[in-house]
Amino acid sequence: GQQLNQSPQSMFIQEGEDVSMNCTSSSIFNTWLWYKQDPGEGPVLLIALYKAGELTSNGRLTAQFGITRKDSFLNISASIPSDVGIYFCAGQRTGNQFYFGTGTSLTVIP
């Protein structure tokens, strides 16, 4: 099956630092999504991207749809303790299937 590779696998940062993570695929996607999952909860959508090159922000979060359509990036500025969690990318080609990345675990040290 289709696998999206996310990196880094985990991050430990100081509160106030900026965070960058990315997601790559061997296939082209038409939609890229970024989710956050808190412990014991289901994923929650953060940002959706629909066009190659698109740059979209949601508060301190900014995500970009890569020009090649095979990658996407998520940045978090000025991290705070509640940013802790696992961040997943997801891609959709056509139809009703989304393919999820392997996740980036973020720990913010106060």
Partner 1 sequence: NAGVTQTPKFQVLKTGQSMTLQCAQDMNHEYMSWYRQDPGMGLRLIHYSVGAGITDQGEVPNGYNVSRSTTEDFPLRLLSAAPSQTSVYFCASRRLASTDTQYFGPGTRLTVL
Binding site for partner 1 (CB under 8 A): 1-4, 6, 31, 33, 40-45, 48, 50, 88, 90, 92, 96-103
Q: How far is the CB of 72 from partner 1 (least distance, A)?
A: 14
Instruction: Compute the residue count for the chain.
Output: 110
CB of 92 to partner 1, least distance (A): 6
Residue 16 or 97 with smaller CB distance to partner 1: 97
3-state secondary structure of 106: strand
Give the HSE-up count for residue 28: Cα atoms under 13 Å, Cβ half-sphere. Answer: 7
Give the β-pairing of 85-92 and 10-14.
unpaired
Residue 84: CB minimum distance to partner 1, A: 18
Backbone phi, psi, residue 82, to 5°: -75, 0
